[in-house]
Amino acid sequence: MGPVVDCEDALARVLPPEALLTEIEDKRPYECDGLSAYQQVPRMVALPETRGQVEAVVKICANHEVPVIARGAGTGLSGGALPRADGCLMSLAKFNRIVEIDAENRIAVVEPGVRNIAISEAAAAYGLYYAPDPSSQIACSIGGNVAENAGGVHCLKYGLTVHNVLRVEILTAQGDWLTLGAAALDSPGYDLLAILNGSEGMLGIIMQITVKLLPRPPVARVLLGAFDKVQAAADTVAGVIAAGIIPAGLEMMDRLAIQAAEDYCQAGYPRDANAILLCELDGTPDEVDTQLRAVEDIFRRHGCSEARVSTTEEERLRFWMGRKAAFPAMGRIAPDYYCMDGTIPRRNLGVVLGRIAELSQEYGLAVANVFHAGDGNLHPLIAYDANEDGQLEAAERLGAEILELCVEVGGTITGEHGVGVEKLEQMCLQFSAPELAVFHAIKDAFDPAGLLNPGKAIPTLHRCAEFGAMHVRGGKLPHPELERF
């Protein structure tokens, strides 16, 4: 009897039968997260429902040297919750309790399986809400939001998950319970809370989260602007930010995305525009009016051909409807799409979008752009057909080129989706060997045996060396015109 069978027996002694899945048909639903191009059926699936059970699972797996991959709703887009054939996939879906809404101190204490939007729903009675709003907010869970440091349309003004989490309780790979952060402003010692945000399940199992709640702004209105040139829309984004205005959201969609969205849900976008900007402003009525006038003026000065301001809440939601439906709308353009996620300095928006258009031509694959322009967070959607030979591989290569372009202009290979398994190789471009060595040392500090979600997020130096060898381009930057950025 090998060690893995021992592990199953031990788990069966602490979990009820329905909470330990070992049959292939039971495990199949857990074989991938939102990045479905990668699939792996796990050795077993644990569905604990008490803290004692979670601790027992972690300790038993540690004793048997079985990797543990924690998972929330499985909506992640970079494969951070991809199982391992030799590992235990532990779902935290049953931890879905809102422990406390403390309106006076404007915090909520929640379990990891609580859905993002459920926090705002519970806080609504107090006029409060939880600000980060990933597109998947109806389904995605807060534990996964912390693990991937999720963003959303409103993170331009209100920050990423890391900016909205005050305290996290974790269970380490050794079975210790740690509390990171505090309900107070600052906490002594190294900022372990920040390091947990975006750590992709590799440092600890997130078991309780204290988040900030914000008061609902009295008013929110959206300005929709149409542009004939993508560059003009990009310059407008820089102009708004340079004017000292921080919109609640500032999103861009290009022609392909606009048309796909219109075909899908008739949001009322101008079909003949080459780019639209959606700029949401929130605050008191006076403040919103003042800022709307200023933003509309900036839009006009940059050549906006048509500008419309939402006059009712219904109209505001319709303006957003097309943006929020952009991903499913891509289904009308091609059977499959690959959603990229990279961040660039805002001033380079125009040149990078131009280069993406060229790459789209070169690869013969349509790319729609629909993204968080205000914070330079691109989401190119590469359309392809997985049933056509070589198209998936071409889409992946094109995606990799786009990420490399982001690094080249001084940006990063992720904005809000994490690294997971998807971007391991681009990490080698982003970071030097000593920087990666520190990442590995941090992992060792929390998880010396390397049993929590191993193989994700941080590539080995060996892998980077192999990747580097594959990507030699004659020692030159591939796009010399960008060298000055």
- Please state, in angstroms and rounded to a whole number, the distance separating the CA atoms of residues 199 and 62: 20
Q: Three-state secondary structure along 348-400?
A: HHHHHHHHHHHHHHHHCCCEEEEEEHHHCEECEEEEECCCCCCHHHHHHHHHH
Closest distance of CB 412 from a copy of itself, Å: 5
Which strand ranges, in their side-by-side order, compose the sheet holding 44-46?
20-21, 44-46, 88-91, 68-71
410 counts as binding a copy of itself under rule CB under 8 A: yes
Which range in 15-23, 133-141, 310-318, 413-421 contacts a copy of itself by CB under 8 A? 413-421
Closer to a copy of itself by Cβ: residue 128 or 267: 128
Closer to a copy of itself by Cβ: residue 141 or 161: 161
435 counts as binding a copy of itself under rule CB under 8 A: yes
Q: Which two tokens stand for residue 469?
A: 């060898």
Closest distance of CB 441 from a copy of itself, Å: 3
φ/ψ of 162, rounded to 5, equals -55, -30
Closest distance of CB 150 from a copy of itself, Å: 10
Candidates 427, 451, 452, 464; binder of a copy of itself (CB under 8 A) is 427
Please report, as residue ranges, which positions from 211 to 250 form the binding site for a copy of itself (by CB under 8 A).
215, 238, 241-242, 244
Closer to a copy of itself by Cβ: residue 247 or 415: 415
Candidates 434, 474, 475, 480; binder of a copy of itself (CB under 8 A) is 434
Candidates 376, 381, 395, 456; binder of a copy of itself (CB under 8 A) is 376
Closer to a copy of itself by Cβ: residue 199 or 310: 199
The residue to which tokens 């560059």 are assigned: 231
How many residues of this chain bind a copy of itself (CB under 8 A)?
Answer: 78
Amino acid at 306: E
Please report, as residue ranges, which positions from 442 to 471 form the binding site for a copy of itself (by CB under 8 A).
442-446, 457-458
Write the CA distances from 51 to 54, 57, 174, 181, integer angstroms: 5, 10, 15, 20
Closer to a copy of itself by Cβ: residue 1 or 441: 441
Q: At what angle are helices 230-242 and 349-363 packed, to 10 degrees?
A: 150
The dihedral sign for the CA sequence 30, 36, 41, 42: negative
Write the CA distances from 361 to 63, 262, 412, integer angstroms: 53, 24, 24
162 counts as binding a copy of itself under rule CB under 8 A: yes
Please report, as residue ranges, which positions from 17 to 56 form the binding site for a copy of itself (by CB under 8 A).
none
The residue to which tokens 């109806």 are assigned: 138
Write the CA distances from 68 to 13, 48, 88, 264, 424, integer angstroms: 18, 13, 5, 40, 19
Least Cα distance to 376 among 401, 342, 351, 404 occurs for 342
Binding mask 271-300 for a copy of itself (x = CB under 8 A): ------------xx-xx--x----------
Closest distance of CB 176 from a copy of itself, Å: 4
Please report, as residue ranges, which positions from 95 to 114 form the binding site for a copy of itself (by CB under 8 A).
103-106
The residue to which tokens 């890391």 are assigned: 162
Contacts of 16 (CB under 8 A, 6+ apart): none
Please report, as residue ranges, which positions from 377 to 396 form the binding site for a copy of itself (by CB under 8 A).
377
Please report, as residue ranges, which positions from 304 to 333 form the binding site for a copy of itself (by CB under 8 A).
none
Candidates 39, 63, 266, 432; binder of a copy of itself (CB under 8 A) is 432
Closest distance of CB 31 from a copy of itself, Å: 25
Binding mask 163-202 for a copy of itself (x = CB under 8 A): x--------x---xxxxx-xxxxxxxxxxx-xx-xxx---
Closest distance of CB 17 from a copy of itself, Å: 33
Q: Three-state secondary structure along 43-106?
A: CEEECCCCHHHHHHHHHHHHHCCCCEEEECCCCCCCCCCCCCCCCEEEECCCCCCEEEEECCCC
